[in-house]
Amino acid sequence: MIIACPALPHYLSVTQEGSRMGKTHSHIGLFITFVLISWNIFLSTAGLAQISITPESDANVLADALVVPGTGITVTSAVYQGSPEAAGLFVGGPQGIADGIILATGLVTDALPPNDQTNTSTNLGFPGSPECEELLGSGFISFDAATLILTFDVAADVHSLSLEFIFGSEEFPEFINNDFNDAFGGFLNGTPFIFDPGGNPITPQLFRSDPVILPPENGLEYDGATVRMQMHVPVTPGSTGNTLLLVICDALDANFDSGVLIASLQGRPFAIPGPINGFAPQLTCPTGFTVSVGDTLAFTVEASDTDSGNITLDGAGLPAGAVMNPPLPATGNPVSSTFTWAPDQSQVGTHQVAFVAVDSTGLQDSCSVTITVESPIDVTPPLCELVSINPGPPVTVRARVQDGESGLARLKPLLIVNALVTIDPFVPGTRDTVNIVMVKEDERKPSFVVFIATDVAGNATLCDPVTTVLSAVVPEGFELKQNFPNPFNPSTTIHFAVGEVPGGLPTVSIRIYDITGREVRTLVNEPLLPGTYSVVWDGTDNQGQPVAGGVYIYRMVAGDFVTSRKMMLIK
């Protein structure tokens, strides 16, 4: 990671001339080495965003600007202490810091670029802070403190807090090796938690070893500024009455101002053992998807970390059949994995898949993806087919109706003549088989039963799997008619006639064979009364499995009557 500062020398030497009310630069005297460490921040003079600062001392307004909504922090009170001109709001800050608040030891508006002075200083005449003096150690007196104190509760799933900040100072570079030392600190429930990566308080002295960004690259008026830092601190889940104190102050005198941009105070769901200075991984997930059964869903989750070191990416709640490539957990920086899944009908509904990225310090980020699986658009009407015919008496016909896609919505009688009809009770939307039993009332009269079957998607079909005209008008003999439609897909109807035979009822069979002569399906194999009939073939075999497209032969046998016809199933 690189901090790019055009024309920045490897070292800079300065000396102080005159009092702390002014400062000039020369190239003799004190040598300061700037250590550039890995932070993944790329800066250039061109294209820097222009920060905007508005003075604001209303503590509630400051709290609202600082706390990220919806992250489990509820502020119950807010207090600001200090000059009304030493606190404010900023937008468009440098280095990608989110909009937030600014606290300063002088005027907050003096933080605005350009860096056209080397000794910006305003003595506001306000007292210092005991918290600042605790950070600086014994013997230090502080001045012009600006303090924001929040009292807040956290939700039961909040285990830690985080915030970001950029500290800048006019004390740099002249006074970083003496006791003139401004300071910024944060205290959670009375315990300090804001430090640099080496565990030192945030003062201009950190510029001796930590990264420093000079103007105009730092986007501020201050002669030196830190990189954007992120702090994490543990908090008791569900706790109430917590206090957060943020303070900045001058030390030893009220001259040469410093300021701090603070943003993104938020609750985090992960636990940490203690305060950590470093950036949590940034995990990017899509928000959600809707996918139909049979379609393939694919998306990628990615994680990266501003800090060096590897990230471990893991997931939970993957539905059956889902694949992550590369498999999880995966390690790297950045690191990514692609989710692929083709849900089946049994997985219709809502699924939640969770992902987490954890870095080497234990900091983490998490996200979840909601996947809604829908049934495909149903364009196929319910299937209505013959189960059996019992010649009786009384003649009893059994049929069944089923819709395996959107489900059966209703069965409505269109015609019932000379028959008692019983239908299994069912819940609309069922994909189970619904049985229909039709019993002839008067054996001497014809019977007619016709239903319309409608599924949830609105597809409908006439339900007459064997349209039986049990009539006094007896066919002259046996007949097997050509199926219709032909060719067909997905189903076709075969009409046939049964004549009278001496000595009782003939056993009638209609079977379907493929072109090799192998039996595929038995449609009818029952003793039948004389009459005309029809039966529907849905293109499945005796096991209910779809058959391949092609030419099939259907044959009717009734005693000495044997005849066959050809039909073609198109796929």
205: tokens are 């002295």
What's residue 373's pLDDT? 95
What's residue 8's pLDDT? 32
Query: What count of other Cβ atoms lies within 10 Å of the Cβ of residue 570?
Result: 12
- Residue 344 scores a pLDDT above 50: yes
- Percent pLDDT > 70 in the chain is 89
pLDDT average, residue stretch 540-556: 95
User: Considering Cα of 218, then 224, then 227, then 229, what sign does the dihedral take?
Assistant: negative
- Of the listed ranges 21-25, 218-222, 518-522, the one predicted with least confidence: 21-25
What's residue 262's pLDDT? 98
* Residues with Cβ within 8 Å of residue 137, at least 6 apart in sequence: none
One CATH from 2.40.40.20, 2.60.40.790, 3.40.50.150, 2.60.40.1930 for 474-571: 2.60.40.1930
Name residue 54's beta-bridge partners.
89
More confident call, 6 vs 288: 288
What's residue 196's pLDDT? 84
Under 8 Å between Cβ of 179 and 142:
no
d(C-alpha 160, C-alpha 235), whole Å: 5
d(C-alpha 181, C-alpha 135), whole Å: 11
d(C-alpha 237, C-alpha 561), whole Å: 85
- DSSP assignment string, 231-263: EEEE--TT--SEEEEEEEEEESSS-S-EEEEEE
What's residue 252's pLDDT? 77
d(C-alpha 190, C-alpha 245), whole Å: 8
Under 8 Å between Cβ of 479 and 521:
no
pLDDT average, residue stretch 10-22: 33
Under 8 Å between Cβ of 58 and 70:
no
What's residue 197's pLDDT? 79
What's residue 428's pLDDT? 92
- Residue 442 scores a pLDDT above 60: yes
- Residue 280 scores a pLDDT above 90: no
- Of the listed ranges 24-33, 179-188, 437-446, 550-559, the one predicted with least confidence: 24-33
pLDDT in tens, 181-214: 789 999 999 999 999 878 888 988 877 777 788 9
pLDDT average, residue stretch 82-104: 96
Pairing of strands 364-374, 288-292: parallel
- Of the listed ranges 6-15, 282-291, 375-384, 480-489, the one predicted with least confidence: 6-15
Domains 282-374 and 474-571 share a fold: yes
- The CATH number given to 282-374 is 2.60.40.10
- Percent pLDDT > 90 in the chain is 57
d(C-alpha 118, C-alpha 112), whole Å: 13
Residue 6 burial by CB count (10 A; 0-12/13-18/19+): exposed, middle or buried? exposed
- Residue 453 scores a pLDDT above 60: yes
- DSSP assignment string, 288-333: EEEEETT--EEEEEEEE-SSSS-EEEEEE-PPTT-EEESPSSEEES
- Of the listed ranges 29-33, 283-287, 420-424, 559-563, the one predicted with least confidence: 29-33
Report whether the peptide linkage leading into residue 173 is cis, meaning its omega lies within 30 degrees of zero. yes
CA angle 110, 111, 117 (to 5 degrees): 65
d(C-alpha 532, C-alpha 375), whole Å: 39
More confident call, 79 vs 36: 79
Under 8 Å between Cβ of 283 and 300:
no
Cα–Cα distance list, 571 to 170, 513, 549, 550 (Å): 81, 17, 5, 8
What's residue 474's pLDDT? 60
Query: What count of other Cβ atoms lies within 10 Å of the Cβ of residue 377?
Result: 9
- Residue 370 scores a pLDDT above 90: yes
Query: What count of other Cβ atoms lies within 10 Å of the Cβ of residue 69?
Result: 7
353: tokens are 């898949």
CA angle 293, 295, 301 (to 5 degrees): 110
- Residue 66 scores a pLDDT above 80: yes
Q: How confident is the model at residue 78 (pLDDT cuts 50, 70, 90)?
A: very high
What's residue 466's pLDDT? 52
Residue 218 burial by CB count (10 A; 0-12/13-18/19+): exposed, middle or buried? buried
Q: How confident is the model at residue 48 (pLDDT cuts 50, 70, 90)?
A: low
Under 8 Å between Cβ of 369 and 283:
no
- Residue 397 scores a pLDDT above 50: yes
What's residue 519's pLDDT? 96
What's residue 472's pLDDT? 38
- Of the listed ranges 5-9, 71-75, 342-346, 448-452, the one predicted with least confidence: 5-9
- DSSP assignment string, 375-433: PPP--PPPEEEEEEEE--SSPEEEEEEE-SSS-EEEEEEEEEESEEEEE----TTB-S-
Domain ranges of the chain: 48-277, 282-374, 377-467, 474-571
**pTM summary value:** 0.56
- Residue 27 scores a pLDDT above 90: no
Averaged pLDDT of the chain: 85
* Residues with Cβ within 8 Å of residue 76, at least 6 apart in sequence: 151, 152, 153, 241
Pairing of strands 11-14, 30-33: antiparallel
User: Considering Cα of 20, then 22, then 25, then 28, what sign does the dihedral take?
Assistant: negative
Under 8 Å between Cβ of 212 and 172:
yes
pLDDT average, residue stretch 455-466: 82
Report whether the peptide linkage leading into residue 326 is cis, meaning its omega lies within 30 degrees of zero. yes
